[in-house]
């Protein structure tokens, strides 16, 4: 009996791939490997290796076969992303109401790797040093620019791309992604940190009908009463009676609101924020920009807090789906792994009764696999399949 018998034609994974339209783009062998990745990567004990995928999915192939599927397989990753994006847009944008804000969330993270010695022959391709905001130092690995779409209920990955030094800048990458965004039915906002808050990104989003809410570096220049001054320098003129206390997600902040122009930006709101007990203390200032000047101060800060799920996505995929531990070496294999991780994350999140929780969805997926395996053993017993064959397929011979 082959592994094909374990994943039935009505399995949730097959149905999910069908809903993405993958049967139009990919052959049965390719779809089978997609199934193996989803099943293997959602099992306990998965550490991100190809060996884990084959062993935990009970695939009827050798690990080198799956490795060649990633590095040499004849299938187009762009078709896979096309299906994923179409599905995400359907779930986030098309199923939303005209009153529900749509959020496009951007951030980058580093898949850290061990720097190879000068004598190493088969190194992981296109790794380099990148600055880690988490570790506050340069680390070796791949920097991954990630985009997610959210409608307040669901937050789904829209793209993951490797940033490569010497090629497109991250600003250019974000602008290209923004150009592919669907037209929103109602209010829509791009959310980003201070690295992406500039006029090019703002204009790229405005063209698609999205305002931008982003963190702002405190050395940016504003023009109160037509006089240019850096944000951090302007704070010397702000007194306690100029600010208001705003509560966001059970935390309180003193906030000063500026509305006017910045370098390259005709008109926007800039919020100066300090934690309640740190008004004007050194290092406590945070600034945020919003191009929608009609939003209240509280709503701007509440909307910006919607950016947090992308941090959760990084943590969950690194801890559970191998985003930080993949060991494939070729650039093509890495890009394909990133797509498959996104695919698996969406599959978990979309499970019935998961309630938009990846953690709950992951448990449901693991239970599906257990039921599939038990059902397969039961069917083998009814068909008088030798027990040695069962042991061999389950890799416990």
Q: Are 291 and 268 in contact (CB under 8 A)?
A: yes
Domains of the chain from N-terminus onward: 3-74+351-393 (no CATH), 80-311 (3.90.350.10)
Q: Are 224 and 313 in contact (CB under 8 A)?
A: no
**Candidate from 3-7, 242-246, 293-297 with smallest mean pLDDT:** 3-7
pLDDT of residue 376: 82
Element (H, E) at 391: helix 387-393
pLDDT of residue 1: 40
Q: How many CA atoms lie within 13 A of 189 on its CB side?
A: 27
Asked whether residue 323 carries a pLDDT value surpassing 80, the answer given is yes
What are the tens digits of pLDDT across the range 165-187?
889 999 999 999 999 999 998 99
Alpha-carbon distances of 247 from 250, 254, 283, rounded to whole Å = 6, 9, 20
Strand pairing category for 137-150 and 155-163: antiparallel
Please state the pTM of the whole predicted model.
0.92
What are the tens digits of pLDDT across the range 223-232?
999 999 999 9
191's CB contacts (< 8 A; 6+ apart) are: 103, 104, 105, 106, 213, 214, 303, 304, 306, 307
Share of the chain above pLDDT 90, in %: 78
Closest CA to 323 of 351, 350, 343: 343
pLDDT of residue 135: 85
Query: What's the mean per-residue pLDDT of the chain?
Result: 92
For the chain, the distance separating the N- and C-terminal CA atoms, rounded to the nearest angstrom, is 14
pLDDT of residue 369: 86
Tell me the mean pLDDT in the region 70-77: 95
Most confident of 124-133, 248-257, 383-392: 248-257
DSSP three-state, residue 261: strand
Q: What is the CA radius of gyration of the chain?
A: 24
Tell me the mean pLDDT in the region 144-153: 94
pLDDT of residue 7: 53
Asked whether residue 358 carries a pLDDT value surpassing 90, the answer given is yes
Please tell me the distance from the alpha carbon of residue 160 to that of residue 133, in angstroms, as a whole number.
19
DSSP three-state, residue 144: strand
pLDDT of residue 3: 40
pLDDT of residue 2: 44
Instruction: Give 301 or 7, the one with higher predicted confidence.
Output: 301
- Binning pLDDT at 50, 70 and 90, where does residue 279 land? very high
């Amino acid at each position: 009996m082959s592994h094909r018998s374990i994943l039935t034609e009505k399995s949730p994974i097959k149905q999910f791939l069908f809903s993405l339209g993958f049967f139009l783009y990919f052959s049965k062998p390719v779809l089978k490997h997609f199934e193996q990745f989803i099943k293997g990567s959602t099992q306990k004990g998965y550490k991100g290796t190809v060996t884990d995928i084959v062993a935990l999915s009970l695939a009827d192939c050798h690990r080198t076969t799956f490795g060649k599927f990633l590095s040499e397989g004849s299938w187009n990753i762009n078709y896979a992303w096309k299906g994923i994006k179409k599905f995400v847009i359907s779930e986030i944008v098309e199923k939303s109401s005209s009153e529900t804000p749509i959020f496009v969330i951007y951030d980058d993270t580093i898949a850290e790797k061990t720097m190879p010695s000068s004598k190493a022959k088969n190194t992981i391709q296109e790794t380099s040093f990148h600055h880690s905001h988490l570790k506050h130092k340069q680390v070796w690995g791949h920097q991954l620019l990630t985009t997610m779409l959210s409608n307040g209920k669901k937050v789904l990955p829209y793209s993951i791309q490797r940033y490569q030094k010497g090629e497109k800048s991250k600003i250019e990458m974000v602008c290209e992604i923004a150009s592919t965004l669907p037209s929103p039915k109602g209010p829509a906002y791009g959310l980003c940190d201070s690295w992406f808050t500039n006029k090019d990104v703002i204009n790229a989003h405005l063209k698609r009908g999205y305002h931008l809410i982003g963190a702002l570096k405190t050395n940016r220049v504003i023009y109160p009463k037509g006089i240019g001054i850096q944000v951090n320098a302007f704070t010397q003129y702000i007194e306690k009676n100029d600010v208001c206390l705003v509560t966001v997600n059970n935390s309180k902040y003193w906030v000063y609101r500026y509305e006017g122009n910045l370098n390259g930006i005709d008109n926007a709101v800039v919020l100066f924020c300090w934690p309640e007990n740190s008004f004007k203390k050194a290092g406590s200032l945070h600034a945020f920009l919003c191009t929608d000047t009609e939003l209240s101060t509280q709503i701007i800060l509440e909307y910006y807090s919607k950016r947090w799920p992308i941090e959760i996505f990084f943590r969950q995929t690194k801890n559970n789906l191998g985003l930080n531990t993949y060991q494939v070496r070729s650039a093509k294999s890495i890009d394909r792994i990133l797509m498959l991780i996104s695919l698996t994350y969406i599959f978990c999140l979309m499970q019935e009764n998961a309630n938009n929780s990846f953690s709950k969805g992951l448990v449901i997926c693991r239970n599906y696999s257990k039921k599939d395996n038990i059902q397969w053993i039961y069917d083998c017993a009814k068909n008088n399949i030798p027990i040695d064959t069962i042991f061999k397929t389950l890799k416990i011979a």
